[in-house]
């Protein structure tokens, strides 16, 4: 069961990364509504990932890496863990500013209103950091999963 949960958690974070890329595409092409929907989907999928990941840990399912080039694996793992921990507050900050901007604007067609502009400017400042971190965490999570699938040994707890 824990292995299945682990597989689904990886699927969720990969789908979250794809939804994030779609959201970036939509905002760059001026489709604010599709952007908002994609980002809500990305956030929901990331939340499902987190619940599944914590469930798997709670079940005591863990693997240790026994493959080649352990130093490279641990460098990847450490960078992944640090940025994953940073990603949650970054994403929450970006969502908070977008929510406040939308609330101040009243609707997506009015986001240039002075009351909303400051919130959306802060949202943009946050996502300049959040998007690359989120994508790195999603991609490295998949790589770590694949490495552990091929070179992992289940730790008996």
Q: Which domains occur in the chain, in start order?
A: 2-154 (1.20.120)
| pLDDT for residue 90 is more than 80 | yes
- In this prediction the pTM is 0.89
**Angle between helix 114-151 and helix 70-105 axes, rounded to 10 deg:** 160
Condensed to tens digits (0 to 9), the pLDDT of residues 92-135 reads: 999 999 999 999 999 988 988 999 999 999 999 999 999 999 99
pLDDT greater at residue 77 or residue 157: 77
Q: Mean pLDDT over all residues of the chain?
A: 94
Please give the Cα distance from 32 to 135 (Å, whole number): 21
């Amino acid at each position: 069961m824990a292995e299945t949960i682990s597989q689904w958690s990886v699927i969720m974070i990969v789908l979250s990364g794809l939804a994030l890329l779609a959201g970036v595409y939509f905002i760059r092409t001026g489709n604010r509504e599709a952007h908002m929907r994609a980002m809500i989907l990305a956030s929901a999928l990331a939340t499902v990932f987190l619940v599944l990941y914590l469930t798997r840990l709670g079940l005591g399912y863990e693997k240790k890496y026994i493959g080649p080039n352990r130093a490279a694996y641990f460098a990847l793992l450490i960078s992944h863990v640090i940025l994953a921990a940073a990603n949650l507050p970054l994403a929450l900050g970006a969502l908070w500013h977008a929510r406040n901007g939308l609330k101040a604007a009243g609707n997506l067609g009015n986001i240039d209103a002075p009351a909303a502009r400051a919130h959306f400017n802060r949202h943009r400042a946050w996502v300049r950091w959040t998007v690359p971190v989120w994508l790195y965490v999603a991609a490295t999570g998949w790589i770590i999963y694949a490495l552990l699938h091929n070179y992992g040994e289940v730790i008996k707890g």
